[in-house]
Amino acid sequence: MAETAISPRGYLLVAGLLMLLLVATVGVAMLPLGPFGLVVAMAIAGTKAALVALYFMHLRFSTPLMRVFAAAGLLWLLIAMTLTLADYLTRAEPMIGEVMR
């Protein structure tokens, strides 16, 4: 069964990786990376999320059907965000109708 596929040592290893990535998150924020900093921060966050989803949530050892359900959430979010951004990013200035102070 999926839940017994990972040993406690495996979980500890994943947790250790997660903590390292957390240190990296804070460290990267202190570097002068400009706009690239956001890309790196999201890449690190995405890696952490993937580790939690694949190992703590057992997706790595689940049935394909389960993985489809999980992926559907991500896909639908991407669809919604893409369509929303397609609207906002293709507007003439200003990006938001009523410009705030």
Partner 1 sequence: MGMREAEAAFQFDDLDQQRETAGLGMWTFLVTEVMFFGGLFGAYIIYRMAYPEAFAAASHHLYMWIGAINTGILLGSSLTMAMAVHAAAHAHRRQLVGYLAGTAGLGAVFLVLKGVEYALDIHDRIVPGVNFHAEAFAAFPDRAEMFFVIYFIMTGLHALHVTIGVGVIVVLALMAKRGWFSARNHNAVEMTGLYWHFVDIVWIFLFPLLYLIT
**Residues binding partner 1 (CB under 8 A):** 1, 3-4, 6, 8, 11-12, 14-15, 18-19, 22, 25-26, 29, 33, 37, 41-42, 44-45, 48-49, 52-53, 55-57, 62-63, 65-66, 69-70, 72-74, 76-77, 80-81, 84-85, 88-89, 94-96, 100-101
What is the amino acid identity at position 33? L
Q: Alpha carbon 48 to chain centroid distance? A: 7
> For the chain, what is the largest distance between any 2 Cα atoms, rounded to a whole number of angstroms?
57
- Beta carbons within 8 Å of 33's beta carbon, 6+ residues apart: 40
The answer to whether 47 and 14 have CB atoms below 8 angstroms apart is no
- Residue 95 C-beta: closest distance to partner 1, Å: 4
- Residue 32 C-beta: closest distance to partner 1, Å: 8
